[in-house]
Chains A and B, each alone.
Chain A
Amino acid sequence: MAITRGDIELAGITKTYDGRFMAVDGVNLKIPDGAYCCFLGPSGCGKTTILRMVAGHEDPTDGEILIGGQDVVGLTPAERRTAMMFQSYALFPHLTVRDNIAFALRVRGLDKAERHARADQMMEKVRLTELADRLPAQLSGGQQQRVALARAAITEPRVLLLDEPLSALDEQLRVQMRQELRRMQRELGITFIHVTHTQLEAIALADVVVVMEKGKIRQAGPARDVYAAPRDRYVAEFLGGQNVLSGQVTRVNGARATLAAPQLRGIEIPLRPGLVQGDRLDVAVRRDDIELVRPGSGPADPATTAVTTRVQAIEYQGAFVKVMLDPVGSDEFVAYVPERRFFTDPLDVGDVVLATWAIDRAHLLA
């Protein structure tokens, strides 16, 4: 019970079901104390299984889980000093808000007066005081989430584990509760691990984003790194906002290389050590780095490269306009044009355009 730090280390943890299905496949990860960490991935990628193993509701088949430097495999959630906020909250339906929040104190044997006093304190923190005597069924989704948060936080955990905490809420509330989660995390100063399949949620909240696929970590790092510098095609596509183009290196000259494919007439890309002619390669270009110009509108900047293409569809998004261009092979090709810029010379569906971007903005993927 000497765990006072909330830094987590997963060392080669593996989880198999029936000795065959690999839910989690040798995951290594370090999460610093007091970090907000998001596990991001499609359903079935193993992110919830990792969460449940850290929480102590499932045991890894192999590997170690260290919290505050101590191996916690086999310990109960209370001994680990973790607390979990369940998907759709799992509030006790027969207990009032106050009794739900005080549950952990009740099972520890605290007397009624003391546990109510502490629950009242906690309710004030999450602004639930006036709902103290309500039952979960009489609360809105956002209120239920606050109860679940308070119920978990009253155990004074070092690590709070959240399983899709926002998925039960509607769009507007989700943004609001997102901020509330972040605020609580700062206030409590403890490690949060949050599992989600929504990339917006992950990059908005997390200090550390962990992108998972099929039981493995594809990339882990600060939100901006993962978004702006994805390691591979999977991460780039899952986080979105990128055009991924693939081709073969046809020429390497000094500082640049040329990438081409049957559907791609040669674009310039930055060079990476070890890149040689004939390599097959994926590159990512952010959709908001692409500029659309009409053909023949002045000489091309030598620091840019271009693809001649055609407007397929246009979606107005408010702050920007999403222009869908002819796909390159099987890859979507999209430009986000700032709203004001777009309307100085609005494009139409069917227009032929030059999609250009600065060469060094293209990001080579693994």
Chain B
Amino acid sequence: MSRVTRDQRRPWTFYVLAGVFILYVAALYGPMICIYILSFQDIRGGLVFPMKGTSLHWFVDLFTQARTGDVKGSFDRSIRLALAVTLITVVASFLAGLGFRRGFRGDGIVFYLMIGSLVAPGLVLGIGVGLACTFLGLEAAWYSSALGAQLSWTLPFGVLVMFAVMSRFDGRWEEAARDLGATPAQTIRLVVVPVLAPGLVAVGLFGFTLSYDEFARSLQTAGSLNTLPLEIWSMTLNVTSPSLYALGTVTTLISFLIIGLSLGSIVLIQRRRAAGGGH
């Protein structure tokens, strides 16, 4: 009996590790939470605690005052850019996943080149793309050079996720489809894509979030018009009001929204299957 109670008591290491974990969580979320709280101050608000009143003043300020920068425009650009990156990443990763599974001449080299662009420092890569544009006499812009620079980062990521997704794909499903008379196009449309759909959503989510908060690769490639992370960065240099915090709160909400939508769609796909939706 006494042995049982002794076994049930937690060892001292539990409390040490729990303490480390709490510190970690506090360091991770504490600063962010401070920013969210401080963004809800009223007009007297400053950049540090204590809170001075509560209002949505700085949110309004964010979208109305020109002196805080082009928040709306940069937000717009960032979303469009992220959507374009997402679309390209999903399509290219899917096709690359199919290609790598079949194997092709030189697939090893392509794979290592891909990993290379993943580990290359983003800032250096961005500067390189920027220089290349100057050298070729092309004008850098968020929808061209920045798009390319961001894809150099999201595509390898997407392909790696696709590998993980594909590893659970049974090639006999395709063979069965062929056996039942499906053309290659029908096999892709009716079997491969639906089976891989949750994985493709995950790839899309990766692409979107990586692009949406990409800074290093965009810095030298976005041209004259800023994306949102660049705008925020420039604001930290010249804006000294809680509207900066309000911006942090808004972008966080949007990130959560995107993640929620993605996870929601995965859950929906799975629930529809579990419920036997079919068509």
- Chain A residues in the interface with B (C-beta under 8 A): 55-57, 76-78, 82-84, 86-88, 90-96, 98-99, 103-104, 106-108, 133-135, 151-152, 155
B residues near A92, Cβ cutoff 8 Å:
173, 176-177, 191, 195
- Chain B residues in the interface with A (C-beta under 8 A): 170, 172-173, 175-183, 186, 190-191, 194-195, 197, 273-274, 276, 278-279
Q: Is the CB of B178 within 8 A of A83?
A: no
A residues near B197, Cβ cutoff 8 Å:
94
Q: Is the CB of B177 within 8 A of A134?
A: no
A residues near B182, Cβ cutoff 8 Å:
103, 107
Residue in B180, B190, B191 whose CB lies within 8 Å of A83: B180
Number of cross-chain contacts by CB at 8 Å:
75
Residue in B181, B195, B273, B276 whose CB lies within 8 Å of A107: B181
Known: A92-B195, A94-B195. A103 touches B177 (CB 8 A): yes
Which A residue sits closest to B194, measured CB to CB?
A: A94
- Give Cα A87 to B194, complex, Å: 22
Tell me the smallest distance from the CB of A64 to a CB of chain B, in Å. 21
Which B residue sits closest to A55, measured CB to CB?
A: B179
Q: Is the CB of A151 within 8 A of B276?
A: no
Q: Is the CB of A86 within 8 A of B175?
A: yes
Most A CB within 10 A of own CB, among B183, B190, B278: B278
Of all A-B residue pairs in the complex, the 9 with the closest CB atoms, nearest first, are: A78-B181, A90-B172, A133-B276, A104-B180, A107-B182, A90-B176, A96-B278, A99-B278, A77-B179
Most A CB within 10 A of own CB, among B172, B180, B274: B180
Q: Is the CB of B273 within 8 A of A86?
A: no
Q: Is the CB of A135 within 8 A of B190?
A: no
Which B residue sits closest to A104, measured CB to CB?
A: B180
Q: Is the CB of A103 within 8 A of B190?
A: yes
19 contacts between A and B (CB under 8 A): A77-B179, A77-B180, A77-B181, A84-B175, A84-B176, A84-B179, A90-B170, A92-B191, A92-B195, A99-B279, A103-B182, A103-B190, A108-B181, A134-B276, A135-B273, A135-B274, A135-B276, A152-B179, A155-B181
- Give Cα A88 to B278, complex, Å: 22
Tell me the smallest distance from the CB of B130 to a CB of chain A, in Å. 44
Q: Is the CB of A155 within 8 A of B180?
A: yes
- Give Cα A57 to B183, complex, Å: 14
Q: Is the CB of A151 within 8 A of B180?
A: yes
A residues near B178, Cβ cutoff 8 Å:
57, 76-77
Tell me the smallest distance from the CB of B13 to a CB of chain A, in Å. 40
B residues near A55, Cβ cutoff 8 Å:
179
